[in-house]
Amino acid sequence: MHKLLIPLISTTLFYALYYLISAVKFDVQILPQSVSYDYALQLVIAYLVFALSKKASVFVVIHGLMMGLLYIGNAVKISFFGGPIMPDDVYALHSLLLILEGWRFFAVAIPLAAIISLLLFNFTMRRWNAYLASLLLISLAITVVFKPSAVVEPMDSYFGNSVWDQRSNYIWRGATLYSLLEAARFFAAVDIPPDADSVQTATESLVAPIPPLEKVGIPKEFNPRNVHIVLLESFWDPNELKKARFNQNPLSPEFRQMWKSAGNSHALTPVFGGFTANSEFEVLCGFPVIKDNVKFERQLLNDVPCLPNLLADKGYRTIVSHPNVPVFWNRTNSYKRIGFQTYWSIKDFQLDDMNDEFLSDSSLYRQVTEKISGSLETKQPVLDYIVTYFGHWNYPLNESRPNQISTRSEVEEVKSYANTAYYKSRELMAFINDMRKRDPDGIIVVFGDHLPFLGENFAGYVDSNVLSTNKSDFSANMLKFYVSTPMIIIDGKRGPIKIGSLPLYQVPKLVLDLLNFDEPSIMDYTVSLPGLQVRPLPGLHFNVATTGAVDTCKEPPSSEDCRRIAHWLESVNIVSNDLFIGRQFARPKRLPERVPPSITAQLAPAIN
């Protein structure tokens, strides 16, 4: 066999094998009309790599690993999260390797290490075709990095592009062209710090539509009550899965009663199934996550007056507790930049009640309460922010937590998650009851960071007809369901308040209002437009009306409200880039000309 046939044969065999695995195992199929050019582009890459290889046998191994990562890796991510691998996932790789245990760690680490090692071992420049291959690869890299529009614009004009529905982009283009195109888009769409004029225009547009408040009576003084915020990993109501037919309601009856008194309020989160740090960013900094990346990783470069910094300036002790490795999602740097004085991570907790590698919520709550008890007793105000770890996929339980919930669902994760929710809700209520006794005037905020992963291609949700297999088929109500998690906000002795469906980025403004904080803050820029409750997501946004109706706005916006929201989001994004990666021209220095209404004022009918 002639050596030049090796790339052709390896490409053909690996393409057929991985396409079959992707289609049968993960239900991800590149469209037949896209296979020809996807295969052709992969063949070109194979010949370029082959030209740089010393040994043909090693090339075959490298090619098999590279194509496996490209085709099977994308299929796995699509089946888990609804979308393929994106360039920003390279930044998330470090965090992924930190969280994986046992065989999962080696399943990811070994192929990556093997590809890099074999490429270095097998690299050669001893033949003329190696120089030609290098020239072509370097030229392509320069184009993607410095002239990405030369790749993005013609491809988008031919294939189209949906920011919201990356799965469709993938199956229409194929893995190889999709990866090349999204790499170019990554460089084309990189955020840059805005100039002073752009920021001024944006801030004026965000403040101008807000009517001035009429001061009535004596303004209330700032009331430095303790604030306890609990982010509940993957916390959600499994009873939404009507066809699962659980033998009992998974959530604690006591939790349900309290949630009902809060009007069954929901948080509208920016993510599904993962990327917890984006929910954290919103609930702490008051700005929406608009793009499909992790804000803590690359988009938080400055010290910013987020909720922890604002309260620290008021004499609060600001503490964050999360029993995970401290550098996960760049939390060590990000927590410091937004104002946390103390970060208790896994090394600061006694790992005395573990569900596999996850510390139980009950142990976490107990240990945090012990750690802050001194401040509670001395009446030093505290921002006590807790990020739970128990409840993470694949929902393990230890021997002290036997299964209590059975189901007719055939999706394995439905049963395991329902039993996890059984214990999470009960351990949460024990914490809430204890904290309300210790700190009756404190503000308590609890919410789920995102919906849980319940099987490949949303299988657990599809069984109950609450989601579709493909995001492109989501209805408006499905879209809201996709990002809605339980939320309870307790206003001290007043008890739970009714807030309806509230985007997470509006929570810190609400907390400041409950503390009678009336100084200017960055949260003033993201007060919703009158009558519009906006939840941005990558590639689209939706508005929840007071009636509960959902108005979906996809690109390009069509209705008048959609256009207004799109303009508002453009201004919000400019101010966000200025504050978090720019020169902070928008950092509040004085009261704006028009004072933004409080969130509590907007929600007054629901609260009262």
Q: Is it the case that residue 215 has pLDDT exceeding 50?
A: no
How far is 15 from 18, CA to CA, in rounded Å? 5
pLDDT confidence of residue 608: 41
* Most confident listed range (58-72, 169-183, 413-427, 534-548): 413-427
Tell whether 208 and 171 lie within a shared domain.
Answer: no
- Within 10 angstroms of residue 418's Cβ, the number of other Cβ atoms is 29
Beta carbons of 258 and 415 less than 8 angstroms apart: no
Tell whether 275 and 407 lie within a shared domain.
Answer: yes
Q: Which two tokens stand for residue 597?
A: 């209404």
Give percent helix, percent strand, percent coil of the chain, each to the nearest 5: 55, 10, 35
Residues above pLDDT 90, as percent of the chain: 66
**Which residue type, as a one-letter code, is found at position 458?**
F
Domain limits for position 222: 196-607
Per the prediction, the chain carries an average pLDDT of 89
Q: Is it the case that residue 210 has pLDDT exceeding 60?
A: no
Tell whether 353 and 243 lie within a shared domain.
Answer: yes
| 95 closest CA partner among 351, 332, 286 | 332
pLDDT confidence of residue 99: 60
Bridge partner list, 485: 267
Tell whether 263 and 409 lie within a shared domain.
Answer: yes
Pick the last residue of a domain from 156, 188, 220: 188
Tell whether 370 and 307 lie within a shared domain.
Answer: yes
Residue 80's pLDDT band (cuts 50, 70, 90): confident
Residue entry with tokens 């994760």: 413
Pick the last residue of a domain from 188, 223, 238: 188
Domains of the chain: total: 2
* Tens-digit pLDDT profile for residues 449-471: 999 999 988 999 999 999 999 88
The predicted model gives 257-278 an average pLDDT of 95
pLDDT confidence of residue 78: 87
Q: Is it the case that residue 151 has pLDDT exceeding 80?
A: yes
pLDDT confidence of residue 605: 46
Bridge partner list, 536: 541
The predicted model gives 208-225 an average pLDDT of 63
How far is 454 from 81, CA to CA, in rounded Å? 10
Q: Is it the case that residue 340 has pLDDT exceeding 80?
A: yes
| 293 closest CA partner among 382, 185, 168, 152 | 185
The predicted model gives 579-601 an average pLDDT of 70
Residue 469 phi, psi (nearest 5):
-60, -40
Tell whether 201 and 182 lie within a shared domain.
Answer: no
pLDDT confidence of residue 119: 82
Residues above pLDDT 70, as percent of the chain: 92
Provide the CATH number for the domain around residue 344.
3.40.720.10
How far is 430 from 255, CA to CA, in rounded Å? 10
Overall size of the chain counted in residues: 608
DSSP letter for 455, please. Answer: S
Q: Is it the case that residue 446 has pLDDT exceeding 80?
A: yes
> Alpha helix locations (H) across 124-272?
128-146, 149-159, 166-173, 175-188, 196-207, 253-261
* Tens-digit pLDDT profile for residues 362-402: 999 999 999 999 999 999 999 999 999 999 989 999 999 99
Tell whether 259 and 331 lie within a shared domain.
Answer: yes
pTM of the predicted model as reported, rounded to 2 decimal places: 0.87
- Within 10 angstroms of residue 184's Cβ, the number of other Cβ atoms is 23
Q: What is the dihedral of CA 120, 126, 128, 131, to 10 degrees?
A: 40
Residue 320 phi, psi (nearest 5):
-120, 140
Q: Is it the case that residue 594 has pLDDT exceeding 70?
A: no
pLDDT confidence of residue 603: 58
Residue 252's pLDDT band (cuts 50, 70, 90): very high
Tell whether 174 and 251 lie within a shared domain.
Answer: no
* Tens-digit pLDDT profile for residues 101-128: 666 677 777 878 888 888 888 888 877 8
Q: Is it the case that residue 245 has pLDDT exceeding 70?
A: yes
Tell whether 440 and 510 lie within a shared domain.
Answer: yes
| 420 closest CA partner among 446, 448, 395 | 395
* Tens-digit pLDDT profile for residues 280-331: 999 999 999 998 888 998 889 999 999 999 999 999 999 999 999 898 888 9
The count of C-alpha atoms lying within 13 angstroms of the C-alpha of 166, restricted to the half-sphere facing its C-beta, is: 24
Pick the last residue of a domain from 162, 188, 214: 188
Burial of 372 per CB tally in 10 Å (0-12, 13-18, 19+): buried
Tell whether 170 and 210 lie within a shared domain.
Answer: no
Tell whether 165 and 141 lie within a shared domain.
Answer: yes
Look at 584 and 97; give whichever has higher pLDDT. 584
Q: Is it the case that residue 212 has pLDDT exceeding 70?
A: no
End-to-end CA distance of the chain: 81
* Tens-digit pLDDT profile for residues 153-203: 998 888 888 887 888 889 999 999 999 999 998 888 888 899 999 999 999
pLDDT confidence of residue 165: 83
The predicted model gives 568-573 an average pLDDT of 94
Tell whether 162 and 290 lie within a shared domain.
Answer: no
pLDDT confidence of residue 38: 92
- Within 10 angstroms of residue 9's Cβ, the number of other Cβ atoms is 12
